[in-house]
């Protein structure tokens, strides 16, 4: 993952002043880095019986779709309100500067599913915790949580369920 880490760009003052954003788009556009991400994700979950990968809007769609393809699993998008065409369930959550809401199709997950929840970066964990609550309400057999990058200094893992395996490919 050293090469992938080298490809990640730091963007100062995004999305707000004082934040240094870890931009994965520079790794996604590099074929070698993208392949390494796919290989790393596959290694974490092969043989675990995963049937669905849930990707969180929007960069979580990239790694999530790659992982689903590699595992022969289905892909489920979690989106902002009003973006999914069929019946949805939603979860609101607090952010640093207000609240946000995410949605998933009501019929996206069954009780027989083993699910990986995937997003690109773990910061404070608010978005992932909301996604976890949505998917958990559908009673799948098992849930895993995954990120490409974990910003450990922000302590996001402390805000996620203690009884769920949480993995990442890169830590800062």
Catalytic residues: 59, 96
Question: Does residue 58 have a cis peptide bond before it, meaning omega lies within 30 degrees of 0?
Answer: yes
Question: Which of these, 12, 2, 98, 21, lies nearest to 59 by C-alpha position?
Answer: 21
Work out the burial of residue 31: count CB atoms within 10 Å of its CB; fewer than 13 is exposed, 13-18 middle, 19 or more buried.
Answer: exposed
- Look up residue 143 and give its two tokens: 């849930």
- Look up residue 172 and give its two tokens: 């800062």
- CB atoms under 10 Å from CB of 157, counted, come to 16
Q: Are 13 and 7 in contact (CB under 8 A)?
A: no
């Amino acid at each position: 993952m050293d090469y992938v880490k080298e490809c990640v760009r730091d963007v100062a003052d995004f999305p707000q002043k004082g934040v240094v954003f870890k931009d994965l788009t520079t790794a996604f556009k590099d074929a070698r880095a993208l392949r390494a991400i796919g290989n790393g994700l596959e290694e974490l979950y092969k043989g675990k019986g995963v049937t669905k990968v849930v990707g969180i809007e929007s960069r979580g769609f990239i790694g999530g779709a790659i992982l689903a393809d590699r595992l022969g699993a289905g892909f489920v998008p979690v989106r902002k309100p009003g973006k999914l065409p069929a019946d949805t369930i939603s979860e609101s959550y607090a952010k640093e500067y207000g609240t946000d809401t995410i949605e998933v199709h009501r019929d996206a997950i069954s009780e027989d599913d083993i699910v990986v929840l995937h997003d690109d970066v773990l910061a404070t964990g608010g978005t992932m915790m909301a996604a976890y609550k949505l998917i958990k309400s559908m009673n799948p057999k098992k849930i895993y949580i995954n990120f490409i990058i974990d910003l450990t200094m922000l302590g996001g893992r402390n805000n996620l369920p203690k009884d769920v395996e949480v993995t990442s490919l890169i830590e800062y």
